[in-house]
Amino acid sequence: MAIREILRYPDPRLTLRAAPVTMFDEALAALVADLTETMQAAPGVGITAPHIGVPLAVTVIALDPAAERRVYVNPQVIATGPGTIRHVEGSVSMPGFTDEVERARPVTIRFQRLDGTQAEETADGFMASCLQHEIDQINGIFWINRLSRLRRDRLVKRALKSSRG
């Protein structure tokens, strides 16, 4: 296990769609271990392989540091509920910057487990938001693209000013 370097916004690799995982082997298990350690060190509640520059459709989520991590390989949203939910979101690739994002609730996803078996899961509340956030990242959609243009432009301006010192 190793803590990996996290790509920082506006790295263009954060806007690329990740490739599906086809090999469920020790290398994938090692990647998931690295993602878990990197997420905990960041700290964050979710991380994807693209966050560390690995263009594979893998995410790890742990809403609470004491909770067991959840691993989703090749996740995709297959259904959304009729309502929406708003949560403050941010990213390990843009630390210190957050804004409120509106997302579907509930959400049902299809994914593979670390051993390659197929599964489905329905989530509501914060978990639904986190799943959609990380699946967006896997699909090359950085979270700020879910903000209004005005809010996104203000946030980006602050973030870029902050990164210059």
Catalytic residues, by residue number, are 134
- The two tokens of residue 27 are 């290398």
Distance CA 147, CA 137 (A): 14
**Angstrom distances, CA of residue 153 to CA of 91, 92, 156:** 16, 19, 5
